[in-house]
Amino acid sequence: MTMASAKSKTLKTQNVNLPSIARRLIESNQQRQFKLGKADIGFRGNLEKTTRYLRWKASCNTVLEAISYIAEETERERIYALYRQLFPKNWKKSSASFTKNGYNEFHTEREFEFIGLVSENYFPLCTWLDWSDFRFDHIPIEPVNLDLCCGEYEWQEMRPCLRFAVAAFLWRGGGIYDWDWNEILSSFNLQLEDLPPISHDNPPYRELEKQRDNPKINRFLHLIEFIYHDTGNPFIDTTCCQPVDLFEWTEENLEKLKADYDAVKAFFESMDSIDEDIELDAQRTFKELISLWNTGRLPGKMQKEAADKTEETAGLLINILADSSAPALTF
Amino acid sequence: MKSQTGNRSRRISSATDRTLRQLIKTPDTASRIFEFAESLYWRDETAERMTFGDIEQIHALLRQTENDLKWMKKQFQDLAEIEDGFRVDIIPIGF
């Protein structure tokens, strides 16, 4: 740093204006200290209180640590503000404490009550996470999908449509052995020769998108989007390798995530529908999926198009003949 | 005529004095932050709850204070360079 810049800069921290709420809290804390001598909690109570306070003081002995503590407490207040906004009646009649109990040092009882209400009324908040062990500054999303990228799964554990689609469209060509592929097919009583070859290219998504109104094409797209974690829905797309945006605790985010969670149903309905067809006729269903992957068209439609094309060609041939011969052939 | 070394030395000492005079006022900031943290620690069940507006104001204050701290820290480091051997690591500024 040059001498000139040292002269030109001035510190801005000389006049810190605390927000009014902070000033009121400080004032009430000063009044509390004034009354403190009158409180009768006994020697043991005082000792415990003092030890707790000293422990806190030791963990908050620099400005940066104090800032971090204030930020954490403010986030807690955000949860309370959200609680009041979303569930005013519950808040009014709640008797849950604003203090942390013995076994949980990260959330107060009142926060836990809010987490429970969100799980009941919006979408289930991560049940496998230990809320007593960690504080979430953002809304934790619990994925409903398998981590097909890095997770280790036995194909036997997957539902039928995933067993086939993951092997045929996701893993095949990317390290899956033919031995596994044969094993998977044999679990449906099929052989490799029973199915057409599967293209290694991506399916014609643009063409498929145009036909999304067709339920069979829609369910195929749902299946592919699901296995590729490419749905735009954080409950399906989130994996260890593909984290989604972090969602702050706001009403808008909770509403958005509720809608996303409701939208997950459509993907599972599509997979249910494919599974039902696999149970009825696995070979026909797989051929349909492979045809959509390879060409973007349903097998029946392809046959019809081929038949139409043959008819058109035949008509053309007849017309050519008609042009060349003197007596006109009419149909 | 004054020597160049003398002028340089006076310039350094003047800059140092000015910076130190500014830095000496920073405990006000630090103590207000500590006071606020402590008032949050001692809140009881009946304490006033914050609105979303309050929360935003507090966040803005924290951001400003953090930026100021960074700037102060940099100023200490720059001072250490000027003074050659100034122990920035033991200065009790709270970061």
Domain that includes residue B84, residue range = 4-90
Does residue B95 belong to any structural domain of this protein? no
Contact B34 A66 (CB under 8 A): yes
The single-letter DSSP state of residue A187 is T
Query: What is the Rg, in whole angstroms, of the alpha carbon atoms belonging to chain B?
Result: 19
**Dist CA A71 CA B29 (whole Å):** 16
How many domains, chain B? 1
| Interface confidence (ipTM) of the complex | 0.73
Q: Are A75 and A137 within 8 A, CB to CB?
A: yes
Note which residues in 2-31 of chain B have CB less than 8 A from chain A.
Answer: 11-12, 15, 18-19, 22-23, 25-26, 28-30
**Maximum separation of any 2 CA atoms in chain B, in Å:** 72
CB-based contact, A137 to chain B, within 8 Å: no
CB-based contact, A62 to chain B, within 8 Å: yes
Does residue B37 belong to any structural domain of this protein? yes
CA nearest neighbour of A309 among A203, A317, A120, A258: A317
Contact B62 A77 (CB under 8 A): no
Percent of chain A with pLDDT over 70: 76
**Dist CA A130 CA A158 (whole Å):** 27
Q: How far is CA A62 from CA A15, A59, A199, B37, in A?
A: 19, 8, 62, 11
Does residue B67 belong to any structural domain of this protein? yes
Contact A25 B71 (CB under 8 A): no
Contact A67 B45 (CB under 8 A): no
What's the pLDDT tens digit per position in A186-234?
999 998 889 998 888 889 999 999 999 999 999 999 999 999 998 999 9
What's the pLDDT tens digit per position in A148-187?
767 677 788 889 999 999 888 887 665 555 667 888 899 9
Q: Taking the complete model, does pTM exceed 0.80, yes or no? A: no
Q: What DSSP line would sit under A312-326, residue for residue?
A: HHHHHHHHHHHHHSS
